[in-house]
Amino acid sequence: MQTSRSTQVAIVGAGPSGLLLGHVLGLAGIDTVVIERQSADHVAARIRAGVLEDATVSFLNEIGLGTRMQAEGLPHDGFSLIYEDTPPLRIDLKGLTGRSVMVYGQTEVTRDLMQARKASGAPTVYEASSVAIHDFESATPSVSYSLDGVSHQLHADFVIGCDGYHGVCRAAAKATGRLHEIERTYPFGWLGLLADVPPVSHELIYANHADGFYLCSMRSPTRSRYYLQCSLEDRVENWSDDRFWAELARRLGPDRASALSTGPSLEKSIAPLRSFVAEPLQFGRLFLAGDAGHIVPPTGAKGLNLAVADIRVLSEALITFYTKGSEDRLNGYSELALARIWKAERFSWWMTSLLHKFDGQTLFDRRIQAAEFNTLASSHALQTALAEAYLGIFD
């Protein structure tokens, strides 16, 4: 059995990019269908990003999704960098730029987006299998998928690939032979642990320890998120909670570790680090957005924010098309989005290079990292540039 239906914009993937695009287009009266291969529970439970740029916060407020974020999110006016045993260097975001970031987990952003979509009545198809896109270089693209053994064909004016790094949309674009994939991988990963314990510090700490990077982050005043640099060959099963806490305490050093609260983990996972950009982001009536088009190592807290920035540009272009009939802004999406993406890629690569221990690092490499820290510590101009990049002030 096969069914067929139509919508204006078919969105593949119900992560932050797909749900956000659906929400913004819905506010403008544009019909969307979101097709997602996972269950709603699976999507809602993913633990990922946690730091929202000022522009992301403003956008979520503008589109009516800021109520819970304003009540429960934690505005942060700064963060600290530590190099080995040197005193922490506080980057005073507020003092340097007048702006702050908001600590509000991706899980919460996703929950707000899912609730808004449900309340709007716009359709989301969860647990779709065999998702494929067709004829996207023509004026009549479509998406096919199976649900409960029934095949469906969804016709649309546009298909938007919001299906993340492992999705089908970029793979289909690649088959045109016109997609360039530009990539750098890193020889280490991040072991993350989430626990219901108060954070060791009220602001984030990014640190380069002689035995590897660590990050002290949080999701709320009672929920902490910590990361340790680990080998790519390492396995979560090798890390009992006790081992994780002991290693974190060791890297923190006795003074800072005295403020560390430990407890059972709610989640532990290892994430590889990658810099990746697909060029271009448009193939006829197919557009790539969010992780489908680019990946950053999480050191600069840019992944989710870049996804939101893509959707901001793309939603404006789609609304212009439907209200004025002009495709100019759609045709400019790829160039405009990529300009921002590459600035965020540079910053995320730089933070990663500064803060990690690299295999085969020579004493020269280590001293250069230390010198980079010391130069930063003594330069108001460099701290301002860092603060602007962390806040996503790229324009």
Binding interface with ligand FAD (CB under 6 A): 12-18, 35-38, 43, 48-50, 106, 128, 131, 162-164, 166-168, 271, 290-291, 298, 301-304, 307
DSSP 139: S
Sort strands 142-147 and 129-134 into parallel, antiparallel or unpaired: antiparallel
Residue with smaller CB distance to ligand FAD, 36 or 247? 36
Q: How many angstroms separate the CA atoms of 346 and 139, rounded?
A: 36
Residue with smaller CB distance to ligand FAD, 47 or 370? 47
Q: How many angstroms separate the CA atoms of 349 and 192, rounded?
A: 19
Residue appearing with tokens 């271009």 = 280
Least distance (Å) between residue 364 CB and ligand FAD? 31
CA angle 391–167–50, rounded 5-degree value? 30
Q: How many angstroms separate the CA atoms of 269 and 239, rounded?
A: 10
Residue with smaller CB distance to ligand FAD, 231 or 377? 231
- The Cβ of residue 2 has, within 10 Å, a number of other Cβ atoms equal to 9
> Which amino acid belongs to residue 133?
I
| 137 Cβ contact list (under 8 Å, min separation 6) | 176, 283, 284, 285, 286
Least distance (Å) between residue 40 CB and ligand FAD? 10
User: What stretch of H or E contains 80?
Assistant: strand 79-83
Q: How many angstroms separate the CA atoms of 168 and 35, rounded?
A: 12
Residue with smaller CB distance to ligand FAD, 115 or 375? 115
Least distance (Å) between residue 71 CB and ligand FAD? 22
Residue with smaller CB distance to ligand FAD, 26 or 50? 50
| 381 Cβ contact list (under 8 Å, min separation 6) | none
Least distance (Å) between residue 322 CB and ligand FAD? 22
| Token code pair at residue 208 | 């380069």
Sort strands 89-91 and 79-83 into parallel, antiparallel or unpaired: antiparallel
Query: DSSP labels for 11-44?
Result: EE--SHHHHHHHHHHHHTT--EEEE-SS-HHHHH
Residue with smaller CB distance to ligand FAD, 36 or 345? 36
Least distance (Å) between residue 243 CB and ligand FAD? 20
Residue appearing with tokens 């860092």 = 386
Q: How many angstroms separate the CA atoms of 278 and 352, rounded?
A: 20
| 383 Cβ contact list (under 8 Å, min separation 6) | 91, 92, 96, 376
Residue with smaller CB distance to ligand FAD, 132 or 370? 132
The three-state secondary structure class of 356 is coil
- Cis bond leading into 280, ω under 30°? yes
Residues marked as catalytic:
76, 206, 298, 302, 390
Least distance (Å) between residue 164 CB and ligand FAD? 3
Least distance (Å) between residue 133 CB and ligand FAD? 9
